[in-house]
Structure 1
Amino acid sequence: MGVDCLFTNLGSDHPAFIEAFAALDAEGAAMPRVIVCPHEMTALSAAHGHAMRSGRAQMVLVHVDVGTQNLGSSIHNAARGRVPAIVVAGLSPVTVGGGRAGARTEFIHYTQDTPRQHEIVGPYVKWSYELRAGEMVDQVLLRGMQLACTEPAGPVYLTGAREVWEEPAAAPAQALPDWAPARGAGLPQEAARDLAQALWGARRPLVITSYLGRQPEAAALLAELSSRMGLAVSEVNPQYVNCPGDHPNHVGYRRNALLDEADLVLMLDVDVPWIPGQAAPRPDARLFHIDCDPLKPGLGFWHFPAERRWQADSLAVLRQLLDLPVLTGGVGRAQREAWIADARGRLALPDLPAAPDGGINLQQLSEAVARLVGERTVVLFESPTATERVLHTLRMARPGSYYANGGSGLGWGINAAIGVKLADPQAEVITLVGDGSYVFGVPSSTYWVGETYGAPQLTVVFNNGGWNAPKASTLLVHPQGTARQRDRYWTTTTARARLADIAAAAGGAAAFRVSRASELDATLRQALETVRGGRSAVVDVVLPPISGQVLGPP
């Protein structure tokens, strides 16, 4: 089925699995690679990264209810990112007599017997199912994979009691092609012609996208369509390269930008195209939405207006639009591109003020990282409040060279990097994370796994002494409030931490710390050479602190 790796955190519900692994290993039989993960955040996030890179769902084994709970925000991330994964958890055995293999043998089989274990992940999975007969295991697994990989993709959750896993049973033979995922399609031909006519007739057409690039070919086709028609392209919180960042019609990564100017907005695989409380399209703008998930039933309240909304495969739609003839009349492409060029100039970011005492600011760090990017580089990004500056600086252009979390559960990046590296051993993985994201990722697990299974990464920690997102949220709501006046946010959680040393202790990573701009390039180059030699490196980059508040006893 394309499962290369079983990302595991094994427990008392897994004797059948462990025995099967041992038997297969003894026979020299083909089997997926078993990746032991000390924490479940690593397991599912690594599977997430592998699936983004390979396009194939991977499997995660976790331990009953407690292991399922330890998945934490990683299950949210897979759901919101529409990334397929098969999560398998055991259930406590139910039999107590001892006459059946797998019956209760430990006290925890009582305390872990949770009546509704599947509800722990219920809001975030496409399907959950309890295996009740050993002979059905192949068919249940195949159905789970089929559902996980059908768009909109996402995780599924399978469970089974220990007695069921222990059953000796011959599964009926299955024809794998019969279990292929359902495939999306394009637009009805009349709808495609109407959309093309609207695009050609617009004076200032704007495309907004976030996850179109999960199919790398779609990013190239969007660039081609943009060049042909003169379409401005904006990427908001992109999870992939959706259009090459160096394309002349790419207007950047700033949410809400150009909404008040565009007379046509095409939303293309995007969840939040703008923030309604901050911006709105022109009253006369024509709005269209094409998406694998156009109504977002997995979310609570959600609505963005559109005169036409289609659930469709955006790659197929782009092919349709490119197959249609070029239309003449109306505003010419040159006029649209003149507007785009002018907008790019207006949307350029101003330089940041220099950091005091020869320190490092976010602009200098972004530019230094950009100088590391090469033909084999794959960047994983998870530093939310640095998004606009970093993406505008990097302008990642090669489809498949950039990935970000589709959810908001921080800690994804350093672990997803393991999956990307396992899926593509030739990739040179650079992970950019905020200090909060780094800590939430359980680095004591991450770097042990990376070292054990040969998946080195260069991690660059944007260390501003704390978690900046709550401060930013507070200032949006209380811009002149007491918190700002007194510099009190209670978020300076990494102000005295030696973050890189965690990775060194856990997995033998090379630990670096740099606080002066004059030493930044040399430190990053040295760290990258370490990674090229097969060893992870973590560079703790000290940035201006978000707050002067000191936490601790009075």
Structure 2
Amino acid sequence: MSASSTYTTSTLFLRTLSRAGITHAFVNWGSDHPALLEELERQRIESATGNTTPTVVTCPNEMVALSAAQGFAQATGKIAAVIVHVDVGTQALAGAVHNVDRGRTPVLIYAGASPFSADSEHKGARNEWIMWIQDIPDQSAIVRQYMRHTAQIYSAKTVEKSVKRALQIATSDPKGPVYLWARREAMEEEIDAVSVDLVADMAGWPSVEPSALSPQAATNIATALLEASSPVIITSHVGRSKTAVSALLSLADILAIPIVNACPTAVNVPFSHPSYTGVTYMSPGSHWNGLTHADAILVLECDLPWILVNDKPLPSARVFVVDSGDPLKLGVGYAHVNAEIVCRADAEVALGQIEDALRGMGIRPPGEPWLRGGVNNDNGAESRVSTRRIALADAHRALVNALDTAERVPPYLLPAGQAGTAEPAFTFTAARLMSTVRRVLSAATLSHATRTLVLNEAISNYPSVWQHLRPELPGSIITSGGSSLGWALGAAVGASLGSRAGVTGSDLHELIVVIVGDGSFMFGVPSSAYWMAHRYQTPFLTIVLNNGGWKSPKLSMLGVYPKGHGSSVPGAQLSVGFGPASPDFSQIAVAASAGWAWGERLGGPISSPASEGSNEETFQQKMDSVISEAVRVVLEEKRCAVVDCVLESI
């Protein structure tokens, strides 16, 4: 059989991925992939365009590969594949495995495995020394507790069904990653061309349909929200579905219910909507101040609605939990919410059912009269809703005023010594910086008619980014959904690839913005991420919130020892700081991309205050200028731009 006509299990594997709708594979090759590499080259030779299906994206680091696949799926709603190398490549997926699990992002991960034969019994038998030391008893155990499904591919005859079953599971709630693996001999098995032609699409392998509330549960929740004096909805993830946001706002409008964003991963409520109460990451005193007197609470697509030792609702509050895939949090060692009803139901479907129940009682949206024959209004429900509507508007104005005040704190010059360096330093608050970024992005997107996607991995500055960017559009800001740092840089590459015309259609994002802490930036393996950005021409803007180290561990320490030995010392002394000479993050990106990326540092130590502007107004002008130039570089020159923004050091 000639080389050009040799087909293998690897041929069927790639053909199945392609017929299933997977357009991109993020790969890190190894000794277990000869047949895959051979098949891809056969495709290039036989294709009129020289392309492969799926498109191969080379990733020098496995965590960046999986983060890129996650960003691709988050931006497009379509699943991508990741291909890695035996046990070591599986381990090198690192914390990104946690992120795709907690972020409920469907990804198909495939890893090869060392051959099982050692004396030429099969094609692909062991012929390199590493194949002994990379052979472990249970390779999939490395990641099994994070996966929705793990399985071994045993032969060419079963590969198509193995892949389709994995994809069916990955794309059904609770969506998430799946892991397939195969010994080298299995992937080298030769087949005939007829088998390749018989590979079909996903017909017959649909995702599980969204589930609904029982009629009684929908009625009970609707009645409780209607009769409550102070109802509230708490959510984290409703915004992962843009259509679910509309359903949420419709319900909130009818009953004038405030909505709390608890550790959000998406835009759940437009900033300007009166039900928007802000964002909480549930540190003491940061929750919505109405939680402590709420008498009906709908916990909707939310990992953690409150932390009992910090803030908690009334013991008498009626609590209802609705989650599309895991309402009991089976993937968590311990989790519990005292609730009257716990439901597994799709958020959009459930919200529509609750609204239908209310309409059946005669309740109508603002501006329409309630039907007196449909509901007994002796309890004053309509009056309470009207009063609450006024209170929501007042509270929203107060929130906006508080944010405006925070954003007015100007850039300021810290004297030598106080700045943590031998020179004085210009610095600024995260609120001020985000307001600047918001203004610049708004002007740029209006003039270029672009859609912007922001990837938020600011960690200790998560709330500032959410609040001060003031997002309006569902899908315009996302996070990883997990807590393993290093997602954003790789995710930006994947999101950019996914946002190209022909992949997402109307959901084209022309400007992708990454906002990261300095710690997250280094966890993101910038040497790989910006190399990939250059190689695949995926420009994005990176704003580094550089506070000189890991602020979150210091905050955790202060939460337990607020007046302890470490409460008054700088981060460097606590061993959580990167000072006194922190890396120049912008130039790391420039070097990794062989000079393709553009970078500049904003703020930090200066030898002459006059050179940076002698006052706050002049420095603000520089902030505007640098951020504007960075946006221009991305939009017009189609290059990555990195602005290293030096905040006050921890």
Of 319, 324, 336, the residue aligned with 2:352 is 319
Of 40, 63, 81, the residue aligned with 1:41 is 63
- 1:492 matched residue in structure 2: 577
- 1:229 matched residue in structure 2: 255
Separation in 2, partners of 1:175, 1:514 = 51
- 2:10 matched residue in structure 1: none
Q: Are 1:297 and 2:320 an aligned pair?
A: no
- 2:640 matched residue in structure 1: 536
Of 194, 214, 231, the residue aligned with 2:220 is 194
- 1:31 matched residue in structure 2: 53
- 1:180 matched residue in structure 2: 206
Of 252, 262, 266, the residue aligned with 1:240 is 266
Separation in 2, partners of 1:79, 1:32 = 24
- For residues 312-360 of structure 1, the C-alpha deviation after alignment (integer angstroms, 9 at most, x for no partner) is 0111112223334143523332212233234445654552755541522
User: For 1:343-362, what aligned pairs fall within 5 Å after superposition?
Assistant: 343-344=395-396, 348-349=402-403, 351=406, 354-357=410-413, 358-362=426-430
In 1, are the aligned partners of 2:117 and 2:125 still within 8 Å (CA)?
yes
- 1:366 matched residue in structure 2: 434
User: For 1:213-292, what aligned pairs fall within 5 Å after superposition?
Assistant: 213-254=239-280, 255=282, 256-257=287-288, 258-292=290-324
Separation in 1, partners of 2:58, 2:569 = 47
- 1:436 matched residue in structure 2: 519
Larger Rg: 2
- 1:402 matched residue in structure 2: 477
Give the SS at the match of 1:290: strand
Separation in 2, partners of 1:367, 1:412 = 24
Q: Are 1:510 and 2:598 an aligned pair?
A: yes
TM-score normalised by the chain length of structure 1: 0.95
- 217-226 or 308-317: which moved more? 217-226
**What is the CA distance between 1:115 and its match in structure 2?**
1.3
Q: Are 1:473 and 2:528 an aligned pair?
A: no
**What is the CA distance between 1:363 and its match in structure 2?**
1.3
Separation in 1, partners of 2:199, 2:181 = 22
- For residues 449-498 of structure 1, the C-alpha deviation after alignment (integer angstroms, 9 at most, x for no partner) is 11111211000000011111101111111000101134332111264211
In 1, are the aligned partners of 2:292 and 2:314 still within 8 Å (CA)?
yes
**What is the CA distance between 1:173 and its match in structure 2?**
4.5
- 1:552 matched residue in structure 2: none
Separation in 2, partners of 1:74, 1:470 = 20
**What is the CA distance between 1:177 and its match in structure 2?**
2.0
Q: Are 1:14 and 2:33 an aligned pair?
A: yes
Q: Are 1:212 and 2:238 an aligned pair?
A: yes
Of 413, 417, 427, the residue aligned with 2:492 is 417
In 1, are the aligned partners of 2:98 and 2:146 still within 8 Å (CA)?
yes
- 2:23 matched residue in structure 1: 4
Separation in 2, partners of 1:361, 1:340 = 28
Q: Are 1:118 and 2:206 an aligned pair?
A: no
Give the SS at the match of 2:406: coil
Of 154, 157, 162, the residue aligned with 1:132 is 154
- 225-234 or 351-360: which moved more? 351-360
Separation in 1, partners of 2:213, 2:622 = 54
**What is the CA distance between 1:238 and its match in structure 2?**
1.1
Q: Are 1:83 and 2:111 an aligned pair?
A: no
Separation in 2, partners of 1:486, 1:190 = 57
Distance 1:351 1:30, change over 3 A: closer
**What is the CA distance between 1:144 and its match in structure 2?**
0.5
Separation in 2, partners of 1:174, 1:140 = 13
**What is the CA distance between 1:145 and its match in structure 2?**
0.4
In structure 2, list runs of 5 or more residues that go unmatched: 1-19, 364-374, 414-425, 501-507, 604-618
Separation in 2, partners of 1:310, 1:444 = 45
Q: Are 1:379 and 2:405 an aligned pair?
A: no
- For residues 227-270 of structure 1, the C-alpha deviation after alignment (integer angstroms, 9 at most, x for no partner) is 12211111112111112122111111124312112221110000
Distance 1:486 1:458, change over 3 A: closer
Residue type at the aligned position of 2:466: L
- 1:331 matched residue in structure 2: 381
Separation in 1, partners of 2:91, 2:21 = 27
In 2, are the aligned partners of 1:207 and 1:265 still within 8 Å (CA)?
yes
**What is the CA distance between 1:55 and its match in structure 2?**
1.2
Separation in 2, partners of 1:337, 1:122 = 48
Separation in 1, partners of 2:472, 2:200 = 42
- 61-70 or 222-231: which moved more? 222-231
In 2, are the aligned partners of 1:220 and 1:399 still within 8 Å (CA)?
no
Residue type at the aligned position of 1:104: R
Residue type at the aligned position of 1:286: R
In 2, are the aligned partners of 1:355 and 1:544 still within 8 Å (CA)?
no
Separation in 2, partners of 1:429, 1:175 = 32
Residue type at the aligned position of 1:38: P
- 1:149 matched residue in structure 2: 171
Give the SS at the match of 1:351: helix
In 2, are the aligned partners of 1:223 and 1:244 still within 8 Å (CA)?
no
Give the SS at the match of 1:492: coil
Give the SS at the match of 1:140: helix
Separation in 2, partners of 1:421, 1:542 = 27
Give the SS at the match of 2:293: coil
- 1:551 matched residue in structure 2: none
In 1, are the aligned partners of 2:453 and 2:476 still within 8 Å (CA)?
yes
Give the SS at the match of 2:182: strand
Give the SS at the match of 1:421: helix
Q: Percent same amino acid among aligned pairs?
A: 38
- 393-402 or 75-84: which moved more? 393-402
Separation in 2, partners of 1:290, 1:322 = 15
Residue type at the aligned position of 2:576: T
Separation in 2, partners of 1:521, 1:205 = 42
- 2:535 matched residue in structure 1: 452
Separation in 1, partners of 2:156, 2:578 = 48
- For residues 410-441 of structure 1, the C-alpha deviation after alignment (integer angstroms, 9 at most, x for no partner) is 00011111111111134110110000000000
Give the SS at the match of 1:61: strand
Give the SS at the match of 2:181: strand
Separation in 1, partners of 2:453, 2:147 = 28
